[in-house]
Structure 1
């Protein structure tokens, strides 16, 4: 969620592994040295189809950063959205307010739109199936007593979750669900829409023989912010916040990625997840990723990210990756006005930098501006300076930081983009 009311995910760190972060990092250093050497020899390496097993030499390793952008493994503490997942939506009322809407009416603010968003983003590989509780669950205390707000007091937040689980348990079998949404009555006086967020628990709650480690707490007004539930659900799948929180909360929140990817802003004109995120989640396989060989200039083809999935096993890459360091890479993809991106401002080839050692909210992804001297879509874009970031046909970009040149040479008859990457 973006300014002025961006949502924050609350994170409670888990314990370090027995061998400590240093030991794991040393093993990764050796693996990356081997990978970078292999990158010189080949641009494509056959690999498994899932993000959790990504074996390409340009696949960054997972680090200890919260919601690390590494793609070499999957954190088993999070559900993987590579299949059908069941979500329960529980509506909470309070003694100090009488709901003005029914749960069924409020549920239509979120579904089927959220499920449809993920179905398009995943090319049909992931189905989020909602189970809507038809009756209000009464909380034991007034809404104002919980102190609901953005940087919520941990004690009051824990009391809210304990009360919510206890109140819902008689009517909800938590063991049946992969995702839990607690939706507060938007008419209650103590409900603050700025407090919508995912809460991760270091010590899980327990109900129906199930450990409950993660909740999506929703405090939105009706209608809610666009794509807010898809953004928060992205955290449930280990995706980071991509916005920048300015000092004191005053300033522009969208300087890192602008409209691109709903984890930056759910209001963005191009909310489809980055190809890098689709690779992480398993929606793009290794066969659809080209690791760029910099031994000489080479032409690469890119299928538009939001274009429907192709049948018959034809290999059409959706992501180019240039490994630039131990924990960094340059990612290149094509964005077009269709699917989740149908309202985007500028079509073309988008370039961004990925750091797997940078935590959620601290800029793990940063879009490179292909047109730094101009802006676009004032009045609709969340950050006009990056709204025209993609490169069009005949345009190029020099990346001084990594000494690379990217050039868009044209498009094929079926709409794919032709991109050349070389050293400067």
Structure 2
């Protein structure tokens, strides 16, 4: 079958509306067999954390995924790094992150081009920056896919990474992001719905590509961006998820994210409905802990529905796996809002120790670094729409599992 070349689509690309990961891309609903009474409904919010259905416009990482990495140079700068060095900046670290986060249920394989492809314009001509002019960004994407057209069969890849020469004078590392297309580009008989534009320094920020790849999987930004760009960005979730901060000490994906992506389900997610006399005891395995071979994951997430589109999520966080550098351990509580979009606080960690902080010399937001409950502590949720919720940490076993009691009224 003759390949469908990109040039026919590329000619119109500059007029094609491209927009960043903070904008809405509609998609078909796909029923989720793991949904239950605690699964919030997916809403029209961008990257909604409702998970009763899956947005079919996004790649779901429940199998082996293949990514192409394309390296772009510019006529105004000779690259100081090799493609192999830049691959090493991000892989195997990014693949390892998702392998651990998914308990081995998702594999990300990268296929890098071995040479630089030169863009037709100087790096400064594209006006690369965080809040990029759509016209200039469209020109950049047009030129990038045209440069790659002769060497890349896009039909065999799930993810496209466009990596710019980090030392070119016009490259701004703050511009790294996912670009979604209002209308997919057609290339090699397949739709390209989004690309990851990488402008990172060498070496790059830690976990930056794990964060951006999370957007490819329909995960939202969990940071709070101040209106004037000044102030603290990490007030919503602190260190506790890579979608909040790529620098976090405990960057493993929240259990809610893992449920959404299909990595948790069934007995691994416990839905608490009804009060129950004296509360319900639940044993939680640390979220980031790898399962013992031949055994089940055990319960990793507890959910209490608090409203039509809200829930309380409870999980155990410990120093293992992607969370091995955490400075505190315990039972983490957070609110989930399915109607809040990316960057609008769809998840907010509950600070169970509001009068103190921790890890001030390491944490991205010390006020939330000591958010988890410890053994012997109890926290009562104030003013929840679904009623009063009390969480007590009863015990921690030598194996690392935590026993908690949840009472609702």
Normalized against structure 2, the TM-score is what? 0.91
Q: What secondary structure sits across from 2:138 in the alignment?
A: helix
Could you say which structure has the higher strand fraction? 2
Shift of the alpha carbon at 1:258?
0.2
Question: In structure 2, what is the equivalent of residue 333 of structure 1?
Answer: 315
| Equivalent residues, number | 386
Whole-Å Cα distance in 1 between the matches of residues 314 and 224 of structure 2?
22
Shift of the alpha carbon at 1:71?
1.3
1:13 aligns with 2:24: yes
CA offsets, 1:386-411, max 9 Å, x none? 00000010011111122211100002
Question: In structure 1, what is the equivalent of residue 3 of structure 2?
Answer: none
1:197 aligns with 2:177: yes
8 A contact 1:51–1:280 mirrored in 2: no
Question: In structure 1, what is the equivalent of residue 77 of structure 2?
Answer: 97
Shift of the alpha carbon at 1:295?
2.3
1:379 aligns with 2:361: yes
1:391 aligns with 2:376: no
8 A contact 2:25–2:180 mirrored in 1: no
1:420 aligns with 2:402: no
Question: In structure 1, what is the equivalent of residue 90 of structure 2?
Answer: 110
Question: In structure 2, what is the equivalent of residue 301 of structure 1?
Answer: 283
Q: What secondary structure sits across from 2:61 in the alignment?
A: coil
Are residues 16 and 417 of structure 1, via their aligned partners in 2, closer, same or farther at CA, if it must alter by over 3 Å? closer
5 Å-filtered alignment, 1:109-128, equals: 109-128=89-108
* Consecutive unaligned residues in structure 1, runs of 5 or more: 1-7, 18-23, 25-49
Question: In structure 1, what is the equivalent of residue 148 of structure 2?
Answer: 168
* Consecutive unaligned residues in structure 2, runs of 5 or more: 1-18
CA offsets, 1:154-180, max 9 Å, x none? 111111111100110101111110000
8 A contact 1:87–1:128 mirrored in 2: yes
Select which of 345, 352, 365 maps to 2:347. Answer: 365
Q: What secondary structure sits across from 1:333 in the alignment?
A: strand
Shift of the alpha carbon at 1:414?
2.7
Whole-Å Cα distance in 1 between the matches of residues 254 and 200 of structure 2?
26
Alpha-carbon RMSD across the aligned residues, in angstroms, is 1.7
8 A contact 1:199–1:216 mirrored in 2: yes
Normalized against structure 1, the TM-score is what? 0.88
8 A contact 1:11–1:199 mirrored in 2: no
1:242 aligns with 2:227: no
Shift of the alpha carbon at 1:11?
4.6
Shift of the alpha carbon at 1:312?
4.0
More deviation, 89-98/307-316: 307-316
